[in-house]
Amino acid sequence: MQWSNSSLLTSQLSEVFKDLIEKTYPELSKDQILASLEITPCRQSSLGHYQCNSALKLSKLLKDNPRSIAEKLSPKASNFIASCDIAGPGFINVTLSNAFLENALNTLIEDPRLGIKPTSNSKRVVVEFSSPNTAKELHVGHLRSTIIGDSLARLFEFLGHDVLRLNHIGNWGTPFGMLIQYLRIHQPEVLSGKEKTNLSHLANWYKESRKLFDNDEEFKKSSQKQVVKLQAHDPDAISAWNKICEISRSGYQEIYDLLDVKITERGESYYHKLLPKVVKLFEEKKLVEVSDGAKCIFLDNFVTKEGSPLPIIIQKTDGGYNYATTDLSALYQRINEEKADRIIYVVDNGQSLHFQMVFRAAKLAGYYKPDKIEVDHVPFGLVLGSDGKKFKTRSGDSEKLIDLLNNAIAKAADILKERESSSSHIDEASKVLGINAVKYADLSSLRTKDYMFSYEKMLQFEGNTAAFLLYAYVRIVSIQKKASFDFASLKSEKIVLSDPTEVELALMVLQLREILEAVAYSLLPNRLCDFLYQLAEKFNSFFRDCPVINSEHQNSRLLLCELVKRTFEIGFSILGLRTVSRM
């Protein structure tokens, strides 16, 4: 399934080289030509703007020297291409013409989306992320899921897709029987609504109920009775359950508001009525085997460390269900009721095997065909402390996410106070800088790897940090303010590229579209972060070499700055970062 429109510059270059290959080697089939096309941005700007690797791919097929093929495929100079150079064994480095770049930029001057139109082929995209357990506080382990999931949802929304953001909360089963029973005994005023409480207290009561459940047989039996009542939708049990969910929801929302994350809660309970239906479906497909009284699905090539078959248990010996049954039911609902075209699960690396098995089982049961519906697990690594171990507090507990975010804001405030005497805007700026720093440090790391959490590094104004990017953005705002920039009076002007740093900056603006498409395909937000970091570096070089105010090119450069500013704003918005006008 195609998830993006062809990108502007690479698609045009691909057409040029496709035509050249067809004319030079008419014996090649269309499939062979398409398979040989490979256009990538040059890693070194001194070599050119783009690199064509087709000659190397064609050399085996044509039984010819790749450099000889490259010489035949090098396009002549035109309004589009300024020059071509052959490097190494047959790389064709292409430099685009200033006239083409100028024209491309000038068509974007009045477009706030920089030419990136919402797709005309909108798809239904479900993104599952964050997913805490009710009655437990969000901790640093939830950070990556929440931030990565929100960013991917923002990207698909920007590209014009219909996105459903789902918070698959753990809110059903035995833990609630324990907690309800504990509250009935020790905190009845909370259940009745006469006494207010918060998630922190609720989390502590959950821990106490777990201790009793494990050590007090009478409490365990009464808790199990509460589970039965809950599953039978007994009014008193449901009322207690709703109260627990309400307290939890309020605690989560404080963090989601701070992170500017919008998400629809749909917990395990939402799919509860589907569980028997899904078990029956697998039985009808003759995929279920009974093992020690439990209903299991055994899949080829999935085995334990000892080499014995590894089952998916969809119904336990006592008739109960587990999280695999819930995930299979959720997937069934998203395909058949939500009519999803793409389903994305943003869940840690530790669940990779689980999702491989769930997806394989679903395909065997005929849930979906991969060429029609895409189902992706988006795994991510751990957040590590300075000691290289899982990030924890000094006491050894998992860091509460609310504490981590508030610490980042406080440290950002300290840094801003040192940088200037005025404190009128520090409260808001420190909140933006602190939250941006946490988000960007996470998103700029390759999500499949662990990364080390450091307030000191993430709040630096040098290097690949949110502060560095934000400072480049604020510089543009400052230039516009000093020049009394009025877009309405300048929009009829034209951008003219007269300096090499302007050309490099122009190319970055025009590459935004293909970067967003690359992220939509790979689901790797760090690619957008890398792009924005390069954009900030290119802008700083431009700022150093190209005077704007009172220069002969003032109007042209003010318009170029405006396009760079919009590029930052689009990128920031997709990453969930906020902007400020001064720092």
Band of pLDDT at residue 395, cut at 50, 70 and 90: low
Of 78, 96, 114, the one marking the end of a domain is 96
Are residues 43 and 145 both part of a single domain? no
Residue 397 has pLDDT above 90, yes or no: no
* Percentage of the chain modeled with pLDDT above 70: 97
Distance from C-alpha of 428 to C-alpha of 380, rounded to nearest angstrom: 31
Give me the number of domains the chain comprises: 4
Are residues 431 and 529 both part of a single domain? yes
Band of pLDDT at residue 1, cut at 50, 70 and 90: very low
Band of pLDDT at residue 287, cut at 50, 70 and 90: very high
Q: What is the pLDDT averaged over residues 207-221? A: 94
CA 185 distance to own-chain centroid: 43
Q: What is the pLDDT averaged over residues 152-161? A: 98
Helix (H) or strand (E) holding 83: strand 81-87
Q: What is the pLDDT averaged over residues 358-363? A: 97
Are residues 59 and 135 both part of a single domain? no
The packing angle between helices 98-106 and 554-575, to 10°, is 70
Q: Domain for residue 476, yes or no?
A: yes
Average pLDDT, the chain: 93
In this structure, of 45-59, 172-186, 249-263, 387-401, the range with the lowest mean pLDDT score is: 387-401
The closest alpha carbon to 156, from 371, 344, 333, 334, belongs to 344
Task: Assign residue 463 a region (left: φ > 0; alpha: ψ between -120 and 50; beta: otherwise).
Answer: left
Are residues 35 and 48 both part of a single domain? yes
- pLDDT tens, position by position, 441-463: 999 999 999 999 999 999 999 99
Residue 491 has pLDDT above 50, yes or no: yes
Q: pTM of the full predicted structure?
A: 0.93
Task: Assign residue 309 a region (left: φ > 0; alpha: ψ between -120 and 50; beta: otherwise).
Answer: beta
CA 69 distance to own-chain centroid: 40
Count of CB atoms situated within 10 Å of the CB of 424: 7
Helix (H) or strand (E) holding 344: strand 342-346
- Residue at token pair 């429109």: 5
- pLDDT tens, position by position, 528-575: 999 999 999 999 999 999 999 999 999 999 999 999 999 999 999 999
Distance from C-alpha of 540 to C-alpha of 463, rounded to nearest angstrom: 12
Are residues 304 and 444 both part of a single domain? no
- DSSP β-ladder status, 309-315 and 342-346: unpaired
Which CATH number is 155's domain given? Answer: 3.40.50.620
Which CATH number is 55's domain given? Answer: 3.30.1360.70
Are residues 421 and 532 both part of a single domain? yes
Number of Cα atoms under 13 Å in the Cβ half of residue 242: 9
Residue 301 has pLDDT above 50, yes or no: yes
Residue 583 has pLDDT above 60, yes or no: yes
Are residues 321 and 352 both part of a single domain? yes
Q: What is the pLDDT averaged over residues 67-82? A: 95
Residue 78 has pLDDT above 70, yes or no: yes
Angle at 364 between CA 360 and CA 368, to 5 degrees: 85
- Residue at token pair 């500013």: 565
> Which range of residues forms the domain containing residue 32?
8-96
Of 231, 260, 289, the one marking the end of a domain is 260
Q: Domain for residue 129, yes or no?
A: yes
What DSSP line would sit under 256-287, residue for residue? Answer: HHHHT---EE--GGGGGGGHHHHHHHHHHTT-
- Quick check: helix, strand or coil at residue 141? helix
Instruction: Give φ, ψ of 24 to 5 degrees.
Output: -80, -35
Residue 421 has pLDDT above 60, yes or no: no
The closest alpha carbon to 523, from 210, 153, 162, 242, belongs to 153
The closest alpha carbon to 450, from 540, 497, 387, 377, belongs to 387
Task: Assign residue 550 a region (left: φ > 0; alpha: ψ between -120 and 50; beta: otherwise).
Answer: left
Q: Domain for residue 160, yes or no?
A: yes
Residue 6 confidence (pLDDT):
40
Q: Domain for residue 141, yes or no?
A: yes
What DSSP line would sit under 18-40, residue for residue? Answer: HHHHHHH-TTS-HHHHHHH--EE
Residue 5 has pLDDT above 70, yes or no: no
Distance from C-alpha of 467 to C-alpha of 447, rounded to nearest angstrom: 21
Are residues 148 and 292 both part of a single domain? yes
Q: Domain for residue 115, yes or no?
A: no
Of 96, 112, 146, the one marking the end of a domain is 96
Q: What is the pLDDT averaged over residues 500-504? A: 97
- pLDDT tens, position by position, 119-141: 999 999 999 999 999 999 998 88
Q: Domain for residue 425, yes or no?
A: yes
Are residues 240 and 132 both part of a single domain? no
Number of Cα atoms under 13 Å in the Cβ half of residue 228: 8
Band of pLDDT at residue 3, cut at 50, 70 and 90: very low
Are residues 450 and 568 both part of a single domain? yes
In this structure, of 227-236, 401-410, 501-510, 564-573, the range with the lowest mean pLDDT score is: 227-236
Residue 239 has pLDDT above 50, yes or no: yes
Residue 356 confidence (pLDDT):
97
Band of pLDDT at residue 396, cut at 50, 70 and 90: low
Distance from C-alpha of 55 to C-alpha of 90, rounded to nearest angstrom: 6
Distance from C-alpha of 386 to C-alpha of 243, rounded to nearest angstrom: 39
Distance from C-alpha of 226 to C-alpha of 222, rounded to nearest angstrom: 6
Q: Domain for residue 325, yes or no?
A: yes
Are residues 569 and 449 both part of a single domain? yes
Are residues 310 and 324 both part of a single domain? yes
The closest alpha carbon to 299, from 369, 368, 360, 376, belongs to 360
Q: Domain for residue 396, yes or no?
A: no
Which CATH number is 471's domain given? Answer: 1.10.730.10
